[in-house]
Chains A and B, each alone.
Chain A
Amino acid sequence: MNIYLKYNLDKICRVVLQEQLDKFDIKYSLSDSGCVHFYENVPDTTYVRIHQALSSYGIEIIDNKKAILVQKVKASIGRMLDQCDMPLVKISAHLADELGENYRTIAQIFTEVCHVTIENFIILYKIERVKQLLAVNDISLTEISYKMNYSSVAHLSNQFKKITGLTPSTFQKLTRSKRAFKALSN
């Protein structure tokens, strides 16, 4: 036996949204064009839970709130590494404290937007800074490792090799040859 249905998508969406949003203890109103208005600010943890609740219905939040959070994380990491001003606490605790959010939430959103974990991002960022120092300045690897807060030169060398597949000295040599070749061909 077949039965035929006629349905109103708009109404279904509204009902689903209401059902889901009512689970959270927040005041909101629905307007027509797929916009939900919250009367007060939604903390990021709640935001993530709303996002999860809706995504199982194929409803995506179009919002750059995540992008904003990621930007804050990156700025904070940049400050820490550029000014060599490492916090005395763990980076995770520092970020959570500075952004006033749970680290798990921060990490989850970061990976979703950037496709790398915060830990890997920090490593990549540090290695980029090391490369810059290797390419520009005539400073020793020991100095670089000190400047970039590595516990030892060996640790820096290993991490560099692991990320780039090259040793710091090979990288330095290649950068110089590359520059010489470029100058020659121009």
Chain B
Amino acid sequence: MYPEKLHILLAEDDQDDHLLFHTVFNHVKINHTLEMCEDGIALMDYLEKSQEKPHIIFLDLTMPGRSGMECLKLIRQNKALSDVTVAIYSSTSVPATVEQAFILGANIYIKKPNEFDDLKKILTEIIYINWQYITEGFNKEHFMINY
């Protein structure tokens, strides 16, 4: 049945983006928690130790320590995390990178928009679409959206 709370995890080293995500998710009507990790190493550490698996991870492509792409690979190699939605976001959207992200198992690729309102729209939409995947049991293998 429906989870009581949606667990959102953000891996991002930029503090401004932390604030942006916070602001956006404050408007989301689904009951949720939002956790932040400072970089890729902290993220993998968190995933290993945390009891409760996130439903969705937002992964910045360029982070110190371990890149978003490396984290994505590690997440997808871990059977326990196979069901987690991974949303990559980056300031670039080179077609080859986007393609690689999807092949490695990313569900969503977001090119960071310049306007806050656009980001808000995208993130909100993602949360609600992800919710349909959770509640409807749609095939996660086919969950690919490019923004």
Q: Which residues of A pack against B, CB within 8 Å?
A: 74, 114-116, 121, 124-125, 128, 131-132, 135, 163-166, 171, 174-175, 177-178, 181-182, 185
B105 contacts chain A at the CB level, 8 A cutoff: yes
Structural contact, B131 and A115, CB atoms closer than 8 A:
yes
The CA of A116 and the CA of B144, in the complex, are separated in Å by 19
Point out the residues of chain A lying under 8 angstroms from B102, CB to CB. Answer: 174, 178
Nearest chain B CB to A117 CB, angstrom units: 10
B: interface residue count bin: 20 to 34
B103 contacts chain A at the CB level, 8 A cutoff: yes
Interface of chain A: mostly helix, strand, loop or mixed: helix
Structural contact, B99 and A174, CB atoms closer than 8 A:
yes
Point out the residues of chain B lying under 8 angstroms from A181, CB to CB. Answer: 103-104
Structural contact, B132 and A114, CB atoms closer than 8 A:
yes
B128 contacts chain A at the CB level, 8 A cutoff: yes
Point out the residues of chain B lying under 8 angstroms from A178, CB to CB. Answer: 102-103, 105, 141
B80 contacts chain A at the CB level, 8 A cutoff: no
Task: List which B91-140 residues lie within 8 A (CB) of chain A.
Answer: 99, 102-105, 109, 128-129, 131-132, 135-136, 138-139
B30 contacts chain A at the CB level, 8 A cutoff: yes
Point out the residues of chain B lying under 8 angstroms from A165, CB to CB. Answer: 109, 145-147
Nearest chain B CB to A35 CB, angstrom units: 23
The CA of A128 and the CA of B109, in the complex, are separated in Å by 18
Nearest chain A CB to B30 CB, angstrom units: 6
- Given A166-B144, A174-B99, A114 contacting B104 (CB threshold 8 A): no
B29 contacts chain A at the CB level, 8 A cutoff: yes
Point out the residues of chain A lying under 8 angstroms from B144, CB to CB. Answer: 164, 166, 171, 174
